Amino acid sequence: MFGTFQQSQIRIELDANAHAIRDSLLTVSTLRQWLAPQTLSPGLPETLEPALTFTSRLGSITVEHQVERVGENHLRLLLSQSIDGYHEWYWGDGWVQSRLEGISLLPLNLGQTLSLLRLREFLKHHTP
């Protein structure tokens, strides 16, 4: 893989409880909503589960994700293709933390920041 080794860890506050955050990260139909304009592989199950492999695309950028672990407040994805590394998510009531590490030509911190901001906006308008 060509690129630079990068690592980034961001934690933000959200106006949502841990259950709503978990649902936004693990329920595929909800994930598709807030990740747009990124697209996910067709034919995915209802929720992310260990050993599931899927791709996300944004224009010509493709990232393959393999779900390594899913916990009550944790998700770990192994990444390949445009990013070789991993993405970990941790969450609780009112916060989410994203840790991204890998080799890529892409500016990982910028993409990670934009994703977290999209998640925060989505939860702001879609949680009771």
pLDDT tens-digit map of 62-105: 999 999 999 999 999 999 999 999 999 999 999 999 999 999 99
Gap between the Cα atoms of 84 and 3, Å rounded: 9
- Residue 1's pLDDT is 65
| Residues found in the chain | 128
Structural domains in the chain, sorted by start = 16-126 (3.30.530)
For residue 25, give the amino acid letter: L
pLDDT-derived band at 126, boundaries 50, 70, 90:
confident
For residue 13, give the amino acid letter: E
